[in-house]
Amino acid sequence: MSDLTILTQAGVAPDSTLSRVVSMRGNIIGMTQSAEEAVLRPKETGAFPHDLRAAIAARVSRLAGDEALTAYYVAQAGQYAALGELGDPCEQHADLAVVLSFVDKIANQTRDAAANDISDLQEAGVADADIVRLCELVAFLAFQIRVISGLRLMNGKST
């Protein structure tokens, strides 16, 4: 079970007491891994290829203060790695400025999200299905970051 992202990132050793406790909830851990695959490496990527999704995941992780998870996603981000390092999208990927602004806002100031945030994406040419994909990705990351943080605390570690 230790090859699963949330357990690996939380530092849960395969032979630990915490691993045995978590194994009693193996279905939840497995479904979490399936959800990660679905939002980060789907068959149908829309406007966001796998490496860009990883960069967005790295960015959200970095903004949440999880450096280990950030590194995990930056390693998968390829040409978009700088975005995960909170690089300025205008430098290499100016076309992503509106997308990243939206992601940063819904990941960190969710209560401030408004209809004009969606219309800004639409005006920038982002299809409705891709807006949904972005929201799914950020929602999953919020869940993943919290589960990893909780497991780290249970494991006697901090972020």
- Among 158, 145, 156, 138, CA closest to 6: 145
What percent of the chain is predicted at pLDDT more than 90? 64
Kindly report, residue by residue over 41-58, the tens digit of the pLDDT.
999 999 999 999 999 999
Q: 39: closest CA among 115, 138, 125, 155?
A: 138
- Long-range Cβ pairs for the range 122-126 (8 Å, 24+): 124/98, 124/99, 126/47, 126/98, 126/99
Q: Judge whether 135 and 51 are in contact, CB under 8 Å.
A: no
Segment 110-144, tens digit of pLDDT: 999 999 999 999 999 999 999 999 999 999 999 99
Q: Which pair of tokens denotes residue 43?
A: 């068959």
- Note the pLDDT of residue 96: 87
d(CA 132, CA 124): 15
Question: What is the CATH topology of the domain spanning 5-154?
Answer: AhpD-like (1.20.1290)
pTM of the entire predicted model: 0.88
